[in-house]
Structure 1
Amino acid sequence: MSIDLFTTLAIAVSLLVYLGLGLLFYALAWAATRGDAMTTQGDTP
């Protein structure tokens, strides 16, 4: 049972890390695109 529990914990942790990194990169990309859009909107008027 301990091996199954360890494997389950390892998979859960790896999935959480993968999702966390994915959300972090998505947030950084969204912030970058939003910042570029804001700068372009500020320059056009």
Structure 2
Amino acid sequence: MLLPDLYSDISWMKFLNLDVAIVMAVLASLVILFVYLQCSDDDKK
């Protein structure tokens, strides 16, 4: 009974890690975009 649970946990962790990676990538992109816009605003001044 322990083995199937272990396999299901591993497959779940793979999906979880993938979701976390996607979310982190999106957040990183937003932060980079925000910083880029802030720098652009500073250049306009």
The alignment's TM-score, normalised by the length of structure 2, stands at 0.85
% identity of equivalent residues: 9
Give the structure 2 partner of residue 20 of structure 1: 21
Structure 2 unaligned regions, length at least 5: none
Root mean square deviation, CA, Å: 0.9
Structure 1 unaligned regions, length at least 5: none
Measure how far apart 1:43 and its partner are. 0.8
Measure how far apart 1:4 and its partner are. 1.4
Q: Distance in 2 between matches of 1:12 and 1:38?
A: 38
Report runs of 4+ in structure 1 exceeding 2 Å deviation: none
The alignment's TM-score, normalised by the length of structure 1, stands at 0.85
Measure how far apart 1:5 and its partner are. 2.0
